[in-house]
Amino acid sequence: MSYFQHAQSIVESSNIGNKTRIWAFAHILPGAVIGENCNINDHTFIENDVILGNNVTVKSGVFIWDGIRIHDNVFIGPNVTFTNDLRPRSKQYPDKFLTTTIEEGASIGANATIIGGITIGKYAMIGAGSVVTKSIPANTLWYGNPARFKSYICNCGEQLNISLICERCEMTLTIKNLHISGEDTI
């Protein structure tokens, strides 16, 4: 085995990448695909139709349901809640669950709720406790209930100044024809 599996975890998938760490009380179903160098914390559950990229961190108390796609270098904070069915009923299942995509480098804060069928863009950041009900553009910070656009951020996570330049790493973001939740087009 080229990954670490805690003795108190249940790993049914044979598709686990090298150097991934799976801690106690995690349960990964047989169809799940987990990339390399991931960290799957205690008390997590990952269903069959789930794909995690490389270098993904899944903190404790996260359940990742069918239809969730998480790209490389994503951070999922403790107790983040994903949904995959907008009209759930007991013992009534859709033909196909909604697909939710978390793009490369995005971060989702503790206790955020992510409604099924949306995309969170590259390097976007969702604040703790937020309820995300629509797709989120890349390099933006959103928080609240419902989550609202707060600022543009750099790939390193710092807020960009008025000229859309990161004062920490000096990255410049260029935005054309972007419309954010009722905000003016930039």
Taking alpha carbons only, the member of 23, 20, 19 closest to residue 7 is: 23
How far lies 152's CA from each of 2, 138, 158, 162, in Å?
39, 9, 9, 9
70 forms beta bridges with 52, 102
Residues 40 and 33 sit within 8 Å (Cβ to Cβ): no
Q: What is the pLDDT of residues 135-176, one digit of tens each?
A: 999 999 999 999 999 999 999 999 999 888 899 988 888 766
Q: Determine how many CB atoms are found less than 10 A away from the CB of residue 116.
A: 18
pLDDT per 10-residue tile (average), the chain, 186 residues: 95 98 98 98 98 98 98 98 96 95 98 98 97 96 97 93 89 64 37
